[in-house]
Amino acid sequence: MSRMRQRSVVSLHDVAPASLGASSTLLTLCERHGVRASLLVIPGPWRGGDPSSDSDFRRWLDGAVERGHEVSLHGWSHDGTGQANWRNRFVARGCGEFSALGRADAVGRIEQGLAVMERLGHRVRGFTPPGWLASTGTIEAVRAVGLEYLTTQRSVKVLTAGVDIRVPAVCQRPHSTLEPIAALAVRRYAVSRVSSGQSIRVALHPADLNSPAMFESATSLVQLAAFAGSTTYAELADGFIAVEAVA
C-alpha cells in the first residue's frame, strides 16, 4: 500500500518440535540482525513431534516470546492427506491441509490448534494456512473463531479492520531443481522492492539451511527485511488499524 510506510515481516514457517534445531538457527539469524519474527507454529503432531508434550520446544518458544517474537498459527497437522486436489499436489507439495476444507472442518482444526496454544500459554492472533492455501471455508473459519488476521502469499488480510495489506511474501524454493537460479531471482526481486521503498515479507523455512548457498540467500533476505524496518504480523495489523482509525 502506498500510504503505508515501508515495513517488513519475517515469518518462520513450520515451527514445531521436529524442526526445533532449524527454527532455532533461523531465529538466531533474525536476532543477529535485530529482526523480531512471527513464528508460525504447527500445533498438532507433525513428523513425530508434538508441541504439547515437548518441554524443550516449550522452553524455546517461551524464550522467543519473552524476546519480542510473535507466536502465530500454521495449520493443525500441516498434512494434505485426503486433499486430492491439484493445488495441494502441485502448488503446496502435499502441504495443502486447508486448501479444500469446508468451514466446519476448518473451524474444528483451528480451534484444536488454538486450544493447544492456550495450554502452552500463548495467545495467538492470526493464521497462515500451510502452503498459503486457504479454501473459502477456511477464510470464513478464521473470521468465525475471532482471529484478527490471515496471511496469503500476496497479502495480509486484517479481518478486524476489513483491509487487505498487499505485500507479497518471498521465499526460496528449496525443492526446485533450479535452486541457485531461483534464489538469485528471489533476492533480486526483494532488493528491487526494498530499494524502491516498498514493503516486503520474508518467509523462512527449515529447508533454507539445506545448503550454504541457501543459508547465504536467507541471510541476505533477513538483512533486507531489517533495512526495511521489521515488525511482526500482529503489530502490522495493530498499526494498520491505528492508521485507518485516524485516516
Contact residues for Zn ion (CB under 5 A)? 13-14, 130
Kind plus residue range of the DSSP H or E element containing 182: helix 179-195
Instruction: Please state, in angstroms and rounded to a whole number, the distance separating the CA atoms of residues 31 and 69.
Output: 10
And the C-alpha cell for 187?
533476492
Distances (CA, A) of 202 to 93, 170, 191: 20, 5, 12
Contact 234, 126 (CB under 8 A): yes
Name the phi and psi angles at 138, rounded to 5.
Answer: -70, -45
The rounded Cα 191 to chain-centroid distance in angstroms is 20
Residue (14 or 179) nearer to Zn ion, CB: 14
Residue (113 or 130) nearer to Zn ion, CB: 130
Instruction: Please state, in angstroms and rounded to a whole number, the distance separating the CA atoms of residues 38 and 27.
Output: 10
Shortest gap between Cβ of 153 and Zn ion (angstroms)? 12
Residue (106 or 161) nearer to Zn ion, CB: 106
Angle at 207 between CA 48 and CA 8, to 5 degrees: 115
N-term to C-term CA, the chain: 14
Shortest gap between Cβ of 5 and Zn ion (angstroms)? 29
Residue (141 or 163) nearer to Zn ion, CB: 141
Shortest gap between Cβ of 59 and Zn ion (angstroms)? 23
Axis-axis angle for helices 20-32, 212-228 (nearest 10): 50
Shortest gap between Cβ of 74 and Zn ion (angstroms)? 6
Residue (156 or 228) nearer to Zn ion, CB: 156
Shortest gap between Cβ of 61 and Zn ion (angstroms)? 17
Shortest gap between Cβ of 215 and Zn ion (angstroms)? 19
Residue (101 or 194) nearer to Zn ion, CB: 101
